[in-house]
Structures are given as structure tokens and as C-alpha cells.
């Protein structure tokens, strides 16, 4: 599937009211004032990295030129935020456009090479006609201005997760609050960044199952990874829902953290059952889990977890039980309001399992 197709797909879901978690940050925060020359050098040495989850460099040359002019004029520039990862590299949370603009200007070329390996010469552009810097490359600046630019400092805030962590999702909320790019990262995108490991690829692989994508009504994976988040939600509750505690966001963060390697017997069983169940549902039910026209995550969760935990359900039984469950008042009540409340989640799954585990009336 092409990236173009993927960018056009968006999964429509009924809105759920999940409780906003109280955040206790277990981190250290320290300011630093590296010179622009040092910042550019650290990027080249991969001591500062632009993580895979970040959007690409999108500034126009005029924007980058105004930034460079601000440094040359001694004007204030917003600070950048850098996360200290486990390898002691500095991951850019916020400030990619500023840092990369400086790097490119020192190199003399704007942006990365095109498909023909050509690069645009970085001449300052779009400044006031009276600006002495207009039209100049770094090498064309006076020696004094070159030195001033190299030695100018940019305030950088270093953020590091403390170990052991009292709250394993504090870094998640750092990314959520500090990433101010043009397109805000969505929860699953942030999880992929914070809780990186084999689980990221495994969830992506499971999500790519064509039967699953058909159930969701997608021609390609959701651009914001809401479909991947639902797979994570199913895995998190599979044979584990008795341990669920609200809010759902924090619960999913914890499960993602605890299963980075995705190597437990439960994980292996889930992979096998997921493929079987989505095939069964896709063959049997037409546009399921849409009581109001769009996917209801709570309904999907209840039915899917019940099926994942019961390997004896046939197509005929699924059809009958789904019809019964769709008209079941006690189950329907768990699909409204606070659908991610602890008791509601457990009640919903219990009721679905009761229907599927017994012979239909």
C-alpha cells in the first residue's frame, strides 16, 4: 500500500469519554545553552537525532532565513526540548525546524538532497531589502558575523526519565504536551516513540491483516494509527481484562511498556487468535460494530475479546450470538457514556462472554 493511500485514510469512530489521567512526572529537567556550532556538530555526529516519529523538515527557505537573521541580530529565539534516551542521545521533541535550519545554513545547502542528489544553495532569502544579510550564504558573511553565529547560544531543555519510574507514562505526556509541530502526534504515534520495541512492528503487522482492515472499512491503514491503537486495546484486554483499571490511555501505556518485546505466551496466543477471529468476523458479519453508523470501539472490544478467548465459536453461532448481543439491554448500556470506566469495561466483556460461552436461546 502506498504512502499516498495511507495518508488519505482516516478511521471514523464514535467519540469515547476517557478520564484524563492525573500525571505525576518522574523526570529530571535541566537547561543547557549549547552554541549553534555545537548543535549542528551534534546532529552530524548523531548525538542529536530526529526520531522516526517526527514529521519531516517542512520550513521554507524564507522561514529558515528569518531564523538565521534573528540569531545574527541577537533577537530571542524559542527554546528547544530534547529528550535524553537510553543511549544518551538527545531526541528532538520540539525544535526540529530550528535546529535543522542552523545545520543547513552552516553546510551551505538548504534541505536534504533531491532524488538526483542535488541540493539548493542556502542563500538568505525573504529578508528586508535593507538587510545586510539578504542573499548571503554562511561563507559570504563577514568573519565577525560567522563567528557570532557559531558562538550564539540556543537554550535547550534536556528531559530525562528517572529510573525506576513511579509513573511509566510520564514520558508519554511529555511528548504529548511539548510536541508543537504543525501536525500534532496522536496517542499511538507517541506510544510508538516512547515504548519502542518489537511490539511496534508486531502491532503494525497485525493491523495490516486485510480481514481486519475490511472490518474497519479501511482501504489502507489509518493515517493517525487509531486502528493500531484498537489492536493494542484488544491485546491489552485479552485474558487480562480483570486487571484493567481506568483511564484507558494510561492502561494502554502500561501494557505497551510491559510488552516491548512482545514475547510472552499471551502475546503469541493473541497473534494466533487475532488472525483467526478477524477472519471469522469478516466472513460472517456485514459492517459490524456500528450501532450508530460508525465504529463503536466499546462494542468492538466486547465482542472481539469474547471471541478471542473462545476458540469454539462457529460462523452460525457468531451470527446468532451477535444478533442476541446487539439487542441485549445490559450490554447496550455499556456502550454509552463513560465506556472506559473500570466497571463498565469489565461488565461489557463479562456480558459478551456470557452470550458467546452459552448456547444461544
Q: What is the pLDDT of residues 90-112, one digit of tens each?
A: 989 889 999 999 999 999 999 98
Check residue 55 and give its pLDDT: 67
The whole-number pLDDT of residue 1 equals 31
Based on the domain organization, do 101 and 215 belong to the same domain? no
Q: What is the pLDDT of residue 54?
A: 66
**Segments forming the whole domain that contains residue 89:** 27-161
How big is the CA angle at 352 (ends 262 and 204), to the nearest 5 degrees?
A: 25
Note whether 203 and 330 are same-domain residues.
Answer: yes
Check whether residue 322 and residue 348 sit in a common domain. yes
Task: Find where cell 542556502 sits.
Answer: 122
- Give the DSSP H/E element, type plus range, for residue 170: helix 170-178
Residue in this structure with the C-alpha cell 493500531, named with its chain if needed:
228
Q: Flag whether pLDDT at 77 surpasses 90.
A: yes
Q: Which residues pair with 48 in a beta bridge?
A: 90
Decide if 254 is inside a domain.
yes
103-111 contacts at long range (C-beta below 8 A, 24 or more positions apart) = 103/39, 103/40, 103/43, 103/44, 104/64, 105/64, 105/68, 105/138, 105/149, 106/36, 106/37, 106/40, 106/138, 106/150, 107/40, 108/137, 108/138, 108/139, 110/61, 110/64, 111/57
pLDDT band at 359 (very low <50, low <70, confident <90, very high): low
Examine the pLDDT at 123 and tell me if it is beyond 70: yes
Count how many domains the chain has: 2
Task: Identify the pLDDT of residue 166.
Answer: 53
Q: Are residues 16 and 54 in the same domain?
A: no
* 73 belongs to a structural domain: yes
**Phi, psi angles (nearest 5°) of residue 94:** -145, 125
User: Does the pLDDT at position 12 exceed 90?
Assistant: no
Q: Is the same domain home to 278 and 349?
A: yes
Same domain, 66 and 202: no
14/63 Cα distance (integer angstroms)? 39
Check if the beta carbon of residue 68 is closer than 8 Å to that of residue 102.
yes
Average pLDDT over residues 3-11: 52
Kindly tell me if the per-residue pLDDT of 142 is higher than 60. Answer: yes
Same domain, 242 and 157: no
Exposure string of 42-75, with b = 16+ CB inside 10 Å and e = fewer, is: bbeeeebbebebbeebebebeebbbbbbebbeee
Q: pLDDT digits over 237-268, tens only?
A: 999 999 999 999 999 999 999 999 999 999 99
Could you give the percent of the chain with pLDDT greater than 70?
A: 90
Q: Encode pLDDT of 313-350 as tens digits.
A: 999 999 999 999 999 999 999 999 999 999 999 999 99
Integer Cα distance of 177 and 357 in angstroms: 44
Residue 200 inside a domain? The answer is: yes
Residues 9, 130 share a domain? no
For residue 270 the three cell numbers come to: 493473541
Those residues whose C-beta lies under 8 Å from the C-beta of residue 303, and which sit 6 or more positions away, are 281, 288, 289, 322, 325, 352
* Stronger pLDDT, 162 or 5, i.e. the higher one: 162
- Specify if 175 maps to a domain: no
Same-domain status, 36 and 155: yes
| pLDDT 10s digits, 124-134 | 999 988 899 99
Residue 172 lies in a domain: no
- Asked if residue 166 is part of any domain, the answer here is no
Give the pLDDT confidence score for residue 161 in this predicted structure. 79
pLDDT in tens, 285-316: 999 999 999 999 999 999 999 999 999 999 99
- The whole-model pTM stands at 0.72
Task: Decide which of 350 and 185 is more confident.
Answer: 350
Under DSSP, the state recorded for 242 is: G
Averaged pLDDT of the chain = 89
Q: pLDDT at residue 361 above 60?
A: no
- Mark whether 112 and 207 lie in a shared domain: no
Q: What is the residue whose three cell numbers read 555526529?
A: 45
- C-alpha 176/C-alpha 258 separation (Å) is 20
Write out the three cell numbers for 299: 462494542
Q: Measured over all CA atoms, what is the biggest interatomic distance in the chain, rounded to whole angstroms?
A: 88
Task: Provide, rounded to the nearest whole percent, the portion of the chain with pLDDT above 90.
Answer: 70
| Model pLDDT, residue 2 | 30
Say what the pLDDT of residue 209 is: 97
How many angstroms separate the Cα of 209 from the Cα of each of 27, 97, 177, 213, 235? Answer: 38, 36, 32, 6, 15
Per-residue model confidence (pLDDT) at position 73: 95
Judged against a pLDDT cut of 50, whether residue 172 lies above it is answered with yes
Whether residue 174 is contained in a domain is answered as: no
Q: In 3D, which of 192, 155, 154 has the Cα closest to residue 171?
A: 192
In this predicted structure, what is the pLDDT of residue 129? 84
More confident residue, 58 or 31: 31
Domain end point (choices 161, 192, 208): 161
Same domain, 77 and 134: yes
Tell me: do 65 and 116 sit in the same domain: yes
Do the domain assignments include residue 319?
A: yes
Contact of 270 with 307, CB cutoff 8 Å: no
What is the average pLDDT across 273-294? 96
Instruction: Give the neighbor-by-neighbor strand order of the sheet with 156-161.
Output: 27-32, 156-161, 80-84, 90-94, 48-49
**pLDDT the model gives residue 4:** 34
Amino acid at each position: 500500500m502506498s504512502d499516498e493511500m495511507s495518508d488519505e485514510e482516516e478511521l471514523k469512530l464514535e467519540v469515547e469519554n476517557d478520564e484524563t489521567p492525573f500525571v505525576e512526572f518522574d523526570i529530571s529537567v535541566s537547561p543547557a545553552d549549547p552554541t549553534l556550532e555545537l548543535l549542528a556538530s551534534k546532529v552530524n555526529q548523531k548525538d542529536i537525532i530526529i526520531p522516526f516519529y517526527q514529521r519531516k523538515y517542512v520550513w521554507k527557505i524564507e522561514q529558515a532565513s528569518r531564523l538565521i537573521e534573528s540569531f545574527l541580530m541577537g533577537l530571542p529565539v524559542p527554546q528547544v526540548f530534547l529528550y535524553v534516551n537510553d543511549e544518551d542521545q538527545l531526541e528532538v521533541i520540539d525544535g526540529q525546524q530550528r535546529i535543522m535550519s542552523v545545520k543547513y545554513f552552516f553546510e551551505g545547502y538548504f534541505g536534504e538532497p533531491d532524488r538526483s542528489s542535488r541540493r539548493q544553495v542556502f542563500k538568505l532569502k525573504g529578508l528586508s531589502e535593507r538587510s545586510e544579510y539578504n542573499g548571503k550564504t554562511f561563507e559570504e558573511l563577514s568573519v565577525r558575523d560567522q563567528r557570532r553565529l557559531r558562538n550564539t547560544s540556543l537554550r535547550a531543555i534536556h528531559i530525562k526519565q528517572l529510573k525506576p519510574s513511579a509513573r511509566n507514562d510520564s514520558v508519554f505526556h511529555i511528548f504529548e504536551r511539548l510536541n508543537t509541530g504543525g501536525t500534532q502526534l496522536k496517542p499511538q504515534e507517541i506510544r510508538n516513540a516512547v515504548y519502542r520495541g518489537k511490539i511496534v512492528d508486531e502491532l503494525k503487522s497485525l493491523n495490516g491483516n486485510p480481514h481486519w482492515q475490511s472490518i474497519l472499512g479501511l482501504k489502507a491503514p489509518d493515517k493517525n494509527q487509531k486502528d493500531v491503537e484498537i489492536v493494542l486495546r484488544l491485546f491489552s484486554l485479552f485474558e487480562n481484562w480483570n486487571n484493567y483499571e481506568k483511564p484507558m490511555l494510561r492502561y494502554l501505556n502500561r501494557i505497551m511498556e510491559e510488552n516491548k518485546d512482545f514475547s510472552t505466551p499471551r502475546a503469541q496466543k493473541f497473534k494466533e487468535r487475532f488472525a483467526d477471529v478477524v477472519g471469522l468476523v469478516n466472513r460472517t458479519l456485514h459492517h459490524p460494530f456500528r450501532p450508530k453508523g460508525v465504529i463503536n470501539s466499546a462494542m468492538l472490544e466486547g465482542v472481539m475479546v469474547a471471541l478471542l478467548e473462545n476458540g469454539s465459536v462457529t460462523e452460525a453461532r457468531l451470527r446468532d450470538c451477535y444478533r442476541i448481543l446487539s439487542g441485549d439491554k445490559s450490554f447496550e448500556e455499556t456502550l454509552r457514556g463513560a465506556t472506559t470506566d473500570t466497571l463498565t469495561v469489565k461488565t461489557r466483556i463479562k456480558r459478551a462472554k456470557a452470550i458467546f460461552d452459552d448456547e444461544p436461546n
